[in-house]
């Protein structure tokens, strides 16, 4: 049985403080959930050090800015929080997920007066594919869904709403017996796989 992400041991950094994993909650009527007004990063730590942490943090802040969200912390606060979190969780090799989202104060497309929440989670996550798959290679389907034209969406931002097509493509690929799907862009050029570029 797969262990859900809502019931684990450890800590999550939430709006400036470490809280127990099970205490990191948000209301179901938050703007980020209903209107995809959230940005995130996917980072790896090796031997207790986060790979390219500063670059990821800059992209996180830049993406939030594009999404008209001002993160209420300094970049150094987030850098320090990520390091503090992996130590608090006793992790050496880990996945680190900072995320920022609009809160529950407004439930409409226009949401300038919502609180910007920030959380960082970290957990042990060895790889998308097991070692034997990586050694022999994985089979990719060509996704029917395309990465959008940059004039249609901010494709350079790691925004939650842009991952819908990746989820659909991965589900379809797995249903056909493939390991993943190769995403093409709107021009038909190779863009990325569904969860890694």
CATH number of 48's domain? 3.30.470.10
What total number of domains does the chain contain?
2
Residues 70 and 33 in one domain: yes
Residues 17, 94: one domain? yes
Handedness of CA 161, 153, 159, 143 (dihedral sign): positive
Domain final residue, candidates 74, 102, 123: 123
> 25 and 86: one domain?
yes
Q: With respect to residue 164, please indicate whether it lies within any of the assigned structural domains.
A: yes
Residue 81 and residue 176 in one domain:
no
**21/89 Cα distance (integer angstroms):** 10
pLDDT in tens, 137-175: 889 999 999 999 999 999 999 999 999 999 999 999 999
Q: Is residue 47 part of a domain?
A: yes
CA-wise closest residue to 82 among 99, 101, 96, 68 = 96
| pLDDT tens-digit map of 63-108 | 999 999 999 999 999 999 999 999 999 999 999 999 999 999 999 9
Enclosing domain of residue 37: 11-123
**In this structure, are 103 and 169 located in the same domain?**
no
Name the domain boundary from 123, 141, 158. 123
- 31-73 pLDDT tens trace: 999 999 999 999 999 999 999 999 999 999 999 999 999 999 9
- Report pLDDT digits (tens) over 99-134: 999 999 999 999 999 999 999 999 998 766 677 777
Chain position carrying tokens 């050029």 = 189
């Amino acid at each position: 049985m797969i262990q859900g992400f809502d019931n684990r041991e450890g800590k999550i950094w939430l709006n400036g403080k470490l809280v127990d994993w099970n205490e990191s909650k948000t209301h179901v009527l938050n703007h980020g959930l209903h209107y995809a007004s959230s940005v995130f990063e996917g980072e790896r730590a090796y031997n207790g050090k986060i790979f390219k942490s500063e670059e990821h943090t800059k992209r996180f802040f830049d993406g939030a800015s594009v999404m008209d969200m001002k993160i209420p912390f300094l970049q150094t606060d987030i850098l320090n929080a990520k390091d503090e979190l992996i130590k608090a969780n006793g992790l050496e090799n880990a996945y680190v997920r900072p995320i920022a989202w609009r809160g529950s104060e407004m439930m409409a497309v226009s949401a300038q007066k919502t609180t910007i929440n920030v959380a960082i989670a970290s957990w042990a996550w060895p790889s998308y594919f097991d070692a034997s798959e990586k050694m022999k290679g994985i089979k990719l389907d060509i996704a029917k869904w395309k990465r959008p034209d940059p004039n249609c969406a901010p494709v350079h931002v790691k925004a939650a709403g842009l991952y819908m097509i990746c989820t659909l493509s991965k589900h379809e690929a797995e249903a056909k017996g493939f390991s993943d799907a190769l995403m093409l862009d709107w021009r038909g050029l190779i863009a990325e796989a569904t969860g890694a570029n």
